[in-house]
Amino acid sequence: MIARLRKIIGLGILGLLVLLVVGGGISRSNLLRAPLARAAGPVGMVCTDGVLIGSTRTFNLQTATGFISTPDGNSLFMWGYTTNPGSFQMPGPVLCAREGETVVVNLSNTLVEATSIIFAGQANVAASGDALGLLAYEAAAGGGSSSYSFLASQPGTYIYNSGTNIDKQVQMGMYGALVIRPLMGDDYAYNDASTRFEREFLILLHEIDPDIHRAVELGGLPFDFNAIHDRYWTVNGRSMPDTLAPNGVTWLPNQPYGALVQVEASSDANDLPVLVRYANAGMFNHPFHPHGNHLRVIARDGRLLRGPGGEDASMEAFTKTIGAGQTYDLLFRWINTDAWSPSGNPIPVQVPGLQNLVFMDDATFYSGDPYLGQNGELPVGVTSYNQCGEFYYPWHTHALDNFQNFDEGFGGLATAVRVDPPGGCP
């Protein structure tokens, strides 16, 4: 435990995390008990529900242009999808539907070139529009429209993205996530009792070459896509450390989705895992590496991992390479192996004296107790960013060149997990 304690104290990158969590305005009460599944909150996946009439769920989308902010102070011109009416956002809205519904997506195009939408993993998509493109019906430039419909027949996590001039338009930001919930209930990932979860989180990856975006911003200057050189990597439209800020912070108006994962230490009273949805909307494969515990991979590309006879084919994974266009569903528990209890611990631990501890910059994650869940005495002038003794672990790419913002590290394709004590923070 002392080794873990020192590790937590020493991880300077995580100082950014708590500054963002605390500075982002999350109160203790609304952060720690995020609602189940579909309800929006300061952490967790945020669904766009569309309009449900009978068994038909309709989403009205439009294209939009705008700028996103990067942690190194840059701003980048982007294209993307938004609700109609609505303002530019990156990524596009998370479209959530239920198994058995007919999903209708209407697209209005404001861009200077034609565009369309394709829906990976969806069969028999019916479409109409201004013209038939290579992969889908397209909405013409400057006010055209198109429409797509399909039966939501398979629960799971999917990606939707432009089907027109894909290398350019997806790079510019025209992508989003599609989530189909099973008949079994919104707190199940699939129609299987083993896939029940407490909360859900989206990890949606993407890359950005700022030279391409500048060329498009200046009126469509030519660019060789064979010479692509990405400089930014995003999770849910943000780069580390902005990934750690809550959903909907005012200082990231066009990047509404945070990526901090939050879990409560497993206990007899709460043994449900959280569901983490991996999705890669980029053009390159990304090995993603969470700390704190293994994750159990339960599905790939919207299909539950089962053998030919229905055998459980799920697997434990610590680093998972997410291929371009690929999705995974994973369950995550933080196992309370030290049997932490606020009333005592089974293994006596000598807490180091304050005189034996060094606090860098008069700040610390150390809660004053070697286990989760208690705040202890600290020297005068030392600030503790813990709310109740919680732990933080980094989750990040294992392609280390993606772990930066235009050569400034740490950053890029990274977020973190927050582990709260059993029962949550008081």
The Cα angle at residue 71 between residues 65 and 76, in degrees rounded to 5: 25
Model confidence pLDDT, tens digit, residues 17-38: 444 444 443 332 333 333 334 4
Percentage of residues in the chain with pLDDT exceeding 70? Answer: 84
Percentage of residues in the chain with pLDDT exceeding 90? Answer: 69
The pLDDT value given to residue 369 = 63
Q: Where does the pLDDT of residue 357 fall: very low under 50, low under 70, confident under 90, or very high at 90 and above? A: confident
Closest CA to 409 of 287, 241, 294: 241
Top-ranked range on mean pLDDT: pick from 15-24, 94-103, 359-368: 94-103
pLDDT at 10 over 90: no
The pLDDT value given to residue 162 = 98
The pLDDT value given to residue 389 = 78
Lowest pLDDT segment from 145-149, 356-360, 368-372: 368-372
pLDDT at 265 over 90: no
Query: Average pLDDT, whole number, for the chain?
Result: 87
pLDDT at 281 over 50: yes
Question: Exposure of 12 by Cβ count < 10 A (0-12 exposed, 13-18 middle, 19+ buried)?
Answer: exposed
The pLDDT value given to residue 40 = 56
> Which domains are assigned to the chain?
2-337+390-420 (2.60.40.420)
> 402 or 369, which is more confident?
402
* φ, ψ at 281 (rounded to 5°): -90, 0
The pLDDT value given to residue 260 = 96
> 140 or 5, which is more confident?
140
The pLDDT value given to residue 368 = 61
Closest CA to 259 of 42, 420, 23: 42
Contact yes or no for 177/161 (Cβ under 8 A) = no
Q: Which two structure tokens, joined as six digits, stand for 118?
A: 């394709």
Model confidence pLDDT, tens digit, residues 331-346: 999 887 777 665 666 6
The pLDDT value given to residue 235 = 98
Average pLDDT over residues 272-299: 95
Average pLDDT over residues 235-257: 97
Model confidence pLDDT, tens digit, residues 312-336: 999 999 899 999 999 999 999 988 7
Q: Would you say the C-alpha torsion 87, 92, 98, 99 has a positive or negative sign?
A: positive
Q: Where does the pLDDT of residue 4 fall: very low under 50, low under 70, confident under 90, or very high at 90 and above? A: very low
Q: Where does the pLDDT of residue 387 fall: very low under 50, low under 70, confident under 90, or very high at 90 and above? A: confident
pLDDT at 57 over 70: yes
The pLDDT value given to residue 163 = 96
SS3 78: strand
Contact yes or no for 266/422 (Cβ under 8 A) = yes
Model confidence pLDDT, tens digit, residues 164-207: 999 999 999 999 999 999 999 999 999 999 999 999 999 999 99
